[in-house]
Amino acid sequence: MTGLDRNSVRRTAVLAGAALIVGLLPLASAGTAAAADPDPVPVDRFEGEVPFASQPAEGLFTWGGDADDPPELTLAERSDAPEGTKVLAGDYDISGYGGFTHDYAADRPGHDWSAHKGIRFWWDGQDNGKKTAFEIKDGGANGEASELWTTSFTDDFTGWKQIEIPFGDFTYRTDYQPVGGIDQVLGLTQMWGYAVTLPVGAPGRFAMDDVELYGKADQSLRASVSTDAAVYPVKEGGTASVKVSVATTGSAPIDEPVTVAYESAGGTAESGKDYTLVKGEITFPAGTESGASRTVRVPTLRDRTAEAAETVPLKLTVTGAKAPAETPQVVIDAHGLPYLDAKLPVKKRVADLLSRMSLAEKAGQMTQAERGAIGAGGDIAAYDLGSLLSGGGSTPTPNTPAAWAKMIDGYQLRAQATRFQIPLIYGVDAVHGHNNLAGATVMPHNIGIGATRDPALAERTGAVTAAEVRATGVPWDFAPCLCVTRDERWGRSYESFGEDPALVESMETVVQGLQGDRSGKDLKDDDRVLATAKHFVGDGGTAYGSSTTGSYTVDQGVTKVSRQELEAVHLAPFQEAVDRGVGTVMPSYSSLDLGDGQGPVKMHARGDMINGVLKDRMGFDGFVISDWNAIDQLPGDYAAHVRTSVNAGVDMMMVPYGYKEFSATLIDEAKAGRVTDRRIDDAVARILAQKFRLGLFEKPYADTGGASAIGSTAHRAVARQAAAESQVLLKNAGSVLPLKKSQKVYVAGSNADDIGNQTGGWTITWQGSSGNITPGTTILQGMRKAGGDVTYSKDASASTDGYDVGVVVVGETPYAEGVGDVGNGNDLELTAADKAAVDKVCAAMKCAVLIVSGRPQLIGDRLGDVDALVASWLPGTEGDGVADVLYGRRAFTGQLPVTWPKSESQLPINVGDTSYDPQFPYGWGLTTLTNVPGGGTASLRALALVAAAAERAGADTVARTAVTKARLLVQQKIGTAVTAASAKPFADADHLLLTGHYADAVAKLTQAYRAG
């Protein structure tokens, strides 16, 4: 793109001068110029002809990441306006993202820009050195459902300057598109306007004027030559086929001939020894249809020598069109080397490969980048990257299984251009199903899985997740979270299975669901993924108010515990994970303070815990992956961040957009001796071992054979069962539940019919969102499918007369991580609208209140007016499961995985606390089973004898059944009259049950019975 300087001279004077000059030229010259360069076409003059309005009307409108991010716009009178008398001016102070858009009217056809060379506008420079993104909108239904094509300019000047951007400079946005892909071709024949994204991080102002289309479409800008791939791996002795195509924006035939001269030259392969030189020229005559192609073949030669991969660049010289952005490379596959022999033990393969690698290649293996940072992917080979990830909401366009597989295969193809063709390991946060993928089966969040108390079901949910994730080409899942949540003000509390380490350990069957056999032998299968135990260690114990991250109050804070409490509460689940063969571990953002005089130390710097406890004492033989940019929170300069974390035992660094800097810094630190060769070799060996176990060297590309099962009836049946078993019945006065199909049911509340609220954070995007964001069944839809006579009024504004029972579904809207911390714009109270709905419905009829949330909500002040109360947690996409227990198809069997407090002032409150007086104790959960035992103390004595005998005999199933019967008997007596005297032994009993102390559990329940 180019910029035309303008200081104080008005644009009208410039045009007048230009007209005078043209008048002095010979007529033929003037006529030729006029024919070659059509008049500019105005898009925006900012004189008031385009209003401030949004779709479906034509207009200018602002947008941003939060309420403060949209800029303030005005049409300002300026004496120095380049055109007319007004300019578009504005002020901004953006912390997330923000800007403005001009959309054409959605109820009229899009505009045709294809006759022009590009778009230009005047910009009042502030010389701030910042980049401003400029986008145009192509194709689709309207301006908010079109493809975004982007470029940027730098404000490194002062005063007015005309910015000219040829259409050929725009690239398709890969990090975000508002709709599914249309065709990913800049057609220019159906344009919907433009958008400007303003700089972030500091207050600023801008002024802009006269947006217009300029120049004549130049074939070299609207026609381009491309190849069908950037990399062409071929076995030694084989022939690579490179498909060369010509295409035009708008798909019109080419006006002028396009020639492509090609020559195989350069690279690491040797002409005549490794391949046969090819050289020639392709001509696409004028009139050739867009998309036409020719094939160039590059033969390779066999020399019977074991060797690493070698490259043969195919240099293309293009005339009459835009050349490919990259030189395509033929790659002669590595062959004959021991590490490629799948029959050898993993340890030997690792040792052979490691012995051949350079320091730079090793540093690359220790580096993980975000897919949105690497563009077309050329940096994968340039930096020998070992891993990529999709952060929350980082998805291909369209967000389909096929697009995921195609995207990841494209990245794996890039890795084939490296010397040893080490495949990438691609990771995602599939924390409750393949939650980034639209249409995937979304499970209840971990807090709901903990409520099921069903380890076998937890394993099945992991298996479904693994199958759906691997079928899209992803072999690595950043799950499960093994945090033990100790304060429900924490925004990640729903990622925990519960507050009791024994409960968390019991749910770690999910590791086998994800990975298969503890030995790792199943990892190469097409329905298994590498699991990640996170966040090591103590992230669930951070104290309220201890976070130093932005406005967070709990997340990424300080866990201050004794070594004894650390071992018993927070470390125990990680030992279980190691014993189960978990493949990777992720340290926590949080700090650990053991009262040893060191004060709080960030976990990514705690070599005593990562090297000392995890790797040495626990025997963890997988690799440690950092959290997102977590090393940036360490003290010191960047070099200190790198060496401290690597020396502490972090093997791979998640540096999403800083991968170049990390790799270079690690190499420098190693050369300086501040990170030893031994430490680097250990890290790389651990990473390579998991890649070999996953079978990536033999099968780097996606096996999509299981893709048809994504979101299938069978997979959703597992999620439906999990949703049903996760429902915890806290109160059921008068046996309001289960409902009868003959009853007329009045349904209200914000979360009755909202799949986004029901699935919570980490769904499609990082924070999740309300609304119809992914296929599934809402609770309301599930009730209707169950055959109920249901009327719905979200705000309970409809008449409540004539109904037998009301169901009010209330709770939270989605959030993730510290964004959801209480005190950071969140609390544990129901919204005013939800309270009003509960009050109105429960005053008019018998009612059941369902709380859809990631943590307990404070409802004690309304408990007396509510007949039935259900903790629904975040049940996922299968609202049918909730309906199953509401209508009695399944019995309520869920139990509280966390203590339900009476007030926020009680927090933190957990099982085992000396002072313990909750609304409902840990482990509480009524049932709608008909065979609830009776008999009082006599039955408890008998159950105690059964539990003791079964415990001695190792008959766990019999013993657990006895304890469960005792629990139900006690709950039946206590009802809602929970006191401190009954709550504490009741909660203790559930912990004793999980730890195998069955006789003691019944004894505690007997104590609770007597106190109740």
Distances (CA, A) of 549 to 553, 591, 645, 652, 900: 8, 12, 19, 23, 28
- Helix or strand holding residue 944 (H, E): helix 936-953
Question: Which segments of 694-823 does DSSP mark as H helices, in order?
Answer: 713-726, 755-759, 779-785
**Which residue matches tokens 């820009």?**
113
Q: Which bin fits 81, alpha (ψ -120 to 50), beta or left (φ > 0)? A: beta
Question: Which two tokens mark 443?
Answer: 């499970």
Question: Which two tokens mark 638?
Answer: 């960047």
User: Cα torsion at 39, 43, 46, 48 (round to 10°)?
Assistant: 110
DSSP state of 222: H
Question: Which two tokens mark 646?
Answer: 């690597």
CA distance 155 to 192: 26
- Helix or strand holding residue 712 (H, E): none
Question: Which segments of 385-471 does DSSP mark as H helices, in order?
Answer: 401-415, 446-452, 455-470
CA distance 882 to 896: 16
CA within 13 Å, CB half, 927: 22
* Annotated active-site residue in 212, 454, 508, 817: 817
Question: Which two tokens mark 641?
Answer: 């961040």
212 given a catalytic annotation: no
Q: Please, what is the Cα angle at 906 between 599 and 869, to 5 degrees?
A: 135
What is the DSSP code string of 218-241? PHHHHEEEEES-SEEEE-TT-EEE
Residue 14 identity: V
- Helix or strand holding residue 572 (H, E): helix 572-579
Question: Which two tokens mark 270?
Answer: 């040797």
Q: Residue 607: is it exposed, middle or buried by C-beta count within 10 angstroms (0-12/13-18/19+)?
A: middle
Question: Which two tokens mark 875?
Answer: 């049940």
Report the 3 state secondary structure along 880-913: HHHHHHHCCCCCCCCCCCCCECCCHHHCCCCCCC
CA distance 270 to 945: 82
Distances (CA, A) of 685 to 349, 529, 617: 10, 19, 19
Backbone angles phi, psi at 891, to 5 degrees: -80, 150
Distances (CA, A) of 552 to 200, 301, 821: 20, 61, 6
817 given a catalytic annotation: yes
CA distance 994 to 575: 16
- Strand 387-390 to 476-477 pairing: unpaired
Coil, strand or helix: which one is 970?
Answer: helix
CA distance 972 to 970: 5
Distances (CA, A) of 164 to 3, 8, 90, 119: 6, 19, 21, 6
CA within 13 Å, CB half, 196: 26
CA distance 810 to 832: 11
Residue 170 identity: F
* Annotated active-site residue in 69, 361, 370, 627: 627
**How distant is the alpha carbon of residue 646 from its chain centre?**
25
Closest CA to 644 of 607, 683, 590: 607
Question: Which two tokens mark 291?
Answer: 């998309």
CA distance 465 to 788: 31
- Given a contact cutoff of 8 angstroms between Cβ atoms, the answer to whether 872 and 462 are in contact is no
Q: Which residues are catalytic?
A: 627, 817
